[in-house]
Amino acid sequence: MQNENKDDKRIQNEKTAALLKRIGQYEMVIPTLVDEDGRFLSYNVSNYDSQGRVRRDLTNQENPSTVFYRISAFGQEFHFRLQINRELLSRSFSVGAFGNDGEEHSVNIRRNCHYVGYSRRPHESTAAISNCFGLHGIFQTQDEDYFVEPLWNDTSSDSGKGHPHVVYKRSSMQFPKDNVHCGVTDIFEKKDKSVNDNTRHIRSQGKLKLKKNRIPRSAVSREKNVETLVVADHKMVEYHGKKVIQSYVLSIMNIVAKLYHDASIGNAVNIVVSRLIVFEKEQANLTLNHDADQSLYNFCKWQHFLNFSSSSGHGGMYHDNAVLLTGYDICSYKNEPCGTLGLAPLSGMCGGDRSCSINEDIGLASAFTIAHEIGHNFGMRHDGLGNDCGVPGSNMTAGLMAAQLSKETRPFNWSFCSRNYITEFIDSEKSACLDNSPVVHVKQIDPRVQEVKRDSTEQCKIMYNSQSRSCKPELVCSELWCVDEQGECKTKGIPAADGTGCYITNTKEKGWCYQGECRALDYQPQPVDGSWGQWLSWDMCTRTCGGGIESSFRRCNDPEPRHGGKYCVGQRKRYRSCNIEACQNSEKDFRELQCEDFNKKPFRGKYYNWKPFSGAHDKPCALNCIADGFNFYTEQARKVIDGTKCYPDKMDMCINGKCLPVGCDGILGSVVVEDFCGVCNGDNSSCYTVNGTYNKIVSPGTYQEIVRIPKGAVHIRVSEIVESLNYLALKNMSNMFLINGGWTVDWPRMFYGAGTVFNYERLDGQPEVIHSTGPTTEDVVFMIILQEHNKGIYYEYNFPKNTSGSPANSSYIWKHFWSPCSGTCGKGRRTSVPVCVNSQDQSDASETLCDSTSKPDTREEDCNQNPCPREWSVSDWSHCSVTCGAGRKIRTVLCVQVVSQTEKTILPDSDCVLPKPNSHRRCRRTDCPPAWVAADWGKCSSTCGEGEQKRDVMCMTSDQRKYLDSNKCQSDQKPAIVQKCNDNVCPGPEWKAGKWDTCSAKCGKGRESRVVVCLDHAGKLSSGCDARLRPTLVRECQSYCESKHSPRLECTDQDHAHFCPLVVKHKVCNRGYFYRMCCQSCRDAEQTP
């Protein structure tokens, strides 16, 4: 326990040091618990003590639902009224800790100590504050966003003097990286798919059952609940400690939930924490590091597996979205620290392994990162990227979805663009997982209006200049009047900010401005829930014929939600059918017109003719178009124009990207259907059924006719009796195959023919089917391509009865007789006129004996299909390749052979006999205009300090093919030829010392000197060195004395004076006199080591 306390103390000291390093301007405060009137009650503001135990003075079983706190900071006093946030945690909320082996053990759930509310007078603000271990949270005024949190390294007791807290502004936060940003990722598309996300090669399509919605989801504003799994990794636990990690993370999520309750989001969204997981150690099955992309990918897969296993084996632990809080300094493009704060897949909400995000822990401000990344999961894009929010010149400001976190960012509000993105997502089927209600709903706290007292003169200074002051104080709330630069009292027609001091007109008492009026000082604006306004008028129909849609909407503005009030739920938009009369025959299919709009837009560098593709059953309301003549299709638009049919053979319409039911009467939401005869709301009495089986034994390797279906047939169905290697085919009366012609088997799909839509289905292990609701506008012939013996074909269709109410005489049929062919090669044409004949002996009969309603039209077909001779085919010359100067034109020259009137075969050039025409030729336009052309900059003249670099600038033609005299170019536009370079500061001057000279004394003590100079970085003399640091110029030196008259030669073996001990002591034996007088003592001293 003692070691554990030491670890906690170390962690607290490190956290405090890191916090104060991260923030710039801050104030130390002592918050107090007060009563509703602001009277002091206690310094005890924590729900738990320092050991994580519930306070003894909290006698209630649950925390008080309402608490009041007072904080004084930055010259302002805030009186907070807070209510417990009962919507933060789900009913089944659990906390689990994962150890070394990945095994989970349960952790005691802390009592709910997370509050939201507002500051009372005199300074208004909204707040989200937790009191688990001191006050953790955030509050917002009109001017600034503030964080409050306790100092962890304080050892004083709360009871006597209170616990110190720090309050700091969001604008003063300092980030270690210059480029602090968010990442939005598509890593799952990159890892799982090799083809462009919205481009598909055609594959065999299965039959899908589509769910129909009676009420358009897009018309209703619904309350959404995001059940959230929050995971704190081992780095977080190491930094914050096990005791407070739970309350710390939930304090952050309390702020996130508040951000999603802001009315600017335009929807009712609850962030509900359903499960908290804490990694006490690194996990072997989940690799996390600095690499944000890989860590996010690993985490998303991990949480998806956890969700799957939990939902199947641990009921109640399911989550819609997963949030990873990590202690790593993450980076979105490399495995080392950088400025990335978070990363999330776009539109991943409810998407299994894409409904997730990774968020770097930066303190309480992590709440903004989490809210931002969840916004990406909701489909929100960055403000200003692909939209106009926050773009210079736009009146739409950026909000919480700004791409980069900066001091100027206002993170509490959602931009208009973010509101549209999340509304579009919530109105779609993708948001279905958020429809359940995991929370015990109680009345939500009504956060207070977020205004601050302001000075009108300060506002004038901001509006005009530092010398300006306010005038006409009696009008300040409705219009702010200021003295301008010329000394005149003027107004720009805007009121002073809410919270500005004023005087009430009648009583002359002091008050404060609120929404254009002067209110009493004790006026407290109450939260107001939003309510729907009146329906607006119907807008223009999306189509002029053939059935369109018109819509009307209403706004949540009667009243708008204010001061934290709830957003409206219910129907926000309604639809109805319009212009349901049929279009003329010449009118193109509405979906076809939308595909054709992309013909003039390049797709991967090429142009294609696009046709509607109806095989993508999973997205009937996406604009899927197939490239004509190719086997791929692409999603050109996420949703078609409202009023477009979901399927060619059905009446159902697409509205806001969803397929909604339409009756056969063309009315949206109608339940009226066609009968088997194709009659809307009919009784099946106007037609009869024709059916039969084709069992003829024929040889494989041929096309064989099965049945001829007459004009006007409805509910046609032709199918194999059992699965086989054979294929069904269909052609019209022009002998043109609609499906599976020319010995080519098409992919299963819908296709047009005979005035109706046919469905060709081929599922593995099942018989082939071609069916259509009809009616047909001409006869069609069903055929079989035999690859093996015929196993049987069943056909059936309904046909209208004649005027007498009975079928026509089936003994007589219409038959064709062909005219001579119109050409000798390249597929000529021939025609025929229908003749009524006896079906038994093929003899001619009167037309009155045949059914006039099924009489086929005159038919045409190809004949003499042998290819024509080979020849050169040339295209028109292209435009000149340049607009000025020398260029060239090109054209396509191909050797071709005409094989039909509409088809040519391209052959090798060697197959054509005649000489090949030219495919290139020169062209020349007028000379290109003169222009200055600058070469690259030369080397800088200096490696540091201010230098120069030069370059050549020439006058040339704009295509840079020809040099011109300088006077041909405009001199005032000539680029610079010299520029400054190397602005980095050079190293300062320093002292340089030379070698010491020879000692001045040849014997005994002397002096020696050296040269010391101050040199700059270039080795030149300078006067900039610090004189106090200059090295020594002169020092003492000693030279050894030795001569032929050395006094030692005159020494005797005895001393001649009583002061000899002093001679040795003061070391003056080298002097001749003393040596002679004290020879013995000096010699003894020399021999002594």
Known binding site for Ca(2+): residues?
Answer: 227, 320, 433
Question: Residue 95, Cβ neighbours under 10 Å: how many?
Answer: 19
Question: Residue 711, Cβ neighbours under 10 Å: how many?
Answer: 22
State the amino acid at position 18 in one-letter form: A
Quote the DSSP letter at residue 910.
G
Q: Show which residues are catalytic.
A: 373
Pick the CATH number of 694-863 from 3.30.2130.10, 3.40.1380.10, 2.60.120.830, 3.30.465.10: 2.60.120.830
Q: Residue 325 corresponds to which tokens in the numbers above?
A: 């809080």
**Residues of the chain by 3-state class (helix, strand, coil), percent to 5:** 15, 30, 50
User: Cα 605 from chain centroid?
Assistant: 26
Residue-level pLDDT at 406: 52
Q: Residue 934 corresponds to which tokens in the numbers above?
A: 């600058």
Residues 706-744 pLDDT 10s: 888 888 899 999 999 999 999 999 999 888 999 998 888
Known binding site: residues?
Answer: 182, 227, 320, 372, 376, 382, 433
Query: Is the pLDDT at 887 greater than 60, yes or no?
Result: yes
Q: Residue 958 corresponds to which tokens in the numbers above?
A: 């704009």
Confidence label for 371 from pLDDT (cuts 50, 70 and 90): very high
Task: Report, as an integer, the average pLDDT of 767-771.
Answer: 94
Nearest C-alpha neighbor of 428 from the set 214, 267, 218: 218
Find the angle CA(971)-CA(976)-CA(979) to the nearest 5 degrees. 160
Residue-level pLDDT at 1070: 81
Which helix (H) or strand (E) covers residue 20, if one does?
Answer: helix 2-22
Confidence label for 311 from pLDDT (cuts 50, 70 and 90): low
Residues 802-836 pLDDT 10s: 644 444 455 667 777 777 787 777 778 888 888 87
Strand, coil or helix: 922 = strand
Task: Report, as an integer, the average pLDDT of 637-665.
Answer: 87
Whether residue 31 has a cis bond before it, omega within 30° of 0:
no
Q: 22-26, 408-412, 689-693: which has the highest mean pLDDT?
A: 689-693
Residue-level pLDDT at 7: 59
Nearest C-alpha neighbor of 28 from the set 176, 175, 162, 143: 162
Residue-level pLDDT at 218: 47
Known binding site for Zn(2+): residues?
Answer: 182, 372, 376, 382
Question: Of residues 1 and 1007, which shows the higher confidence score?
Answer: 1007
CA distances from 366 to 17, 207, 255, 342, 964 (A): 18, 47, 9, 9, 62
- Spell out the domain ranges in the chain: 2-87+110-172, 182-188+217-434, 456-520, 594-660, 694-863, 1048-1087
CA torsion angle 415 421 426 428 (round to 10): 160
Query: Is the pLDDT at 81 greater than 70, yes or no?
Result: yes
Residues 214-264 pLDDT 10s: 334 445 677 889 999 999 999 988 888 888 888 888 888 888 888 888 878
Beta bridge partners of 861: 830
Q: Are 15 and 154 in contact (CB under 8 A)?
A: no
Residue-level pLDDT at 61: 41
Strand, coil or helix: 490 = strand
Counting residues of the chain whose pLDDT is more than 70, the rounded percentage is 82
Residues 163-213 pLDDT 10s: 888 888 877 776 555 445 565 654 444 443 322 334 444 433 333 232 333
Residue-level pLDDT at 448: 29
Whether residue 869 has a cis bond before it, omega within 30° of 0:
no
DSSP of 939-1002, one letter per residue? --S-SSSSEEEE--EEEEETTSSSB--GGGS-GGGPPPSEEEE--SPPPPPEEEE------S-S
State residue 76 phi and psi, 5-degree precision.
Answer: -130, 150
State residue 42 phi and psi, 5-degree precision.
Answer: -165, 155
Which of 432-457 are b and which e, b meaning 16 or more Cβ less than 10 Å from the residue's Cβ? ebbeeebbeeeebbbbbbbbbbbebe
Q: Which residues contact 585 (CB under 8 A, 6 or more apart)?
A: none
Q: Residue 621 corresponds to which tokens in the numbers above?
A: 């309301």
Report how far residue 1043's alpha carbon sits from residue 1040's, in angstroms, rounded to the nearest whole number: 10
Alpha-helical (H) ranges within 320-455 are 366-377, 416-426
Domain 182-188+217-434 sits in CATH at 3.40.390.10
Q: Are 894 and 875 in contact (CB under 8 A)?
A: no
